[in-house]
Amino acid sequence: MTYETVSPADIPGSPLANAFKQPLMLGVFLNLQDIRLSTLPTTSTWTFDYNADVVRKADELGFDLAFSRTQWLPKGGYDGEASLDAFIALGAMAAITKNILLISTIHVLYGPIHPLHLAKYGATLDHISKGRWGINIVTGHRA
pLDDT tens, position by position, 79-106: 556 778 888 899 899 999 999 999 988 8
Is pLDDT of 77 > 60? no
pLDDT of residue 54: 95
Question: Of 77-86, 101-110, 120-129, which range is least confident?
Answer: 77-86
30 bridge partner residues: 68
In a 3-state reduction of DSSP, which class is residue 26?
coil
pLDDT of residue 75: 63
Q: Is residue 88 part of a domain?
A: yes
**Alpha helices in 1-138, H assignment, sequence order:** 15-21, 48-60, 86-93, 115-129
Q: Is residue 12 part of a domain?
A: no
The answer for residues whose C-beta is within 8 angstroms of residue 77's C-beta and 6 or more apart is 33, 34, 83
Taking residues 63-84, what's their average pLDDT? 73
Q: Is residue 17 part of a domain?
A: no
Which structural domain, as residue segments, surrounds residue 85? 25-32+43-138
Give the model's confidence band at 66: pLDDT under 50 very low, under 70 low, under 90 confident, else very high. Answer: very high
SS (H, E, C) 75-113: CCCCCCCCECCHHHHHHHHHHHCCCCEEEEEEECCCCCC
Is pLDDT of 3 > 70? no
Q: Is residue 49 part of a domain?
A: yes
Read off the pLDDT of residues 16-60 as tens digits, 9 standing for 90 and up.
888 888 889 999 999 887 776 778 887 888 889 999 999 999 999
Taking residues 122-134, what's their average pLDDT? 91
Q: Is residue 14 part of a domain?
A: no
Number of independent structural domains in the chain: 1
The model's pTM is 0.80
Q: Is residue 20 part of a domain?
A: no
Q: Is residue 7 part of a domain?
A: no
Is pLDDT of 123 > 80? yes
Q: Is residue 59 part of a domain?
A: yes
pLDDT of residue 114: 84
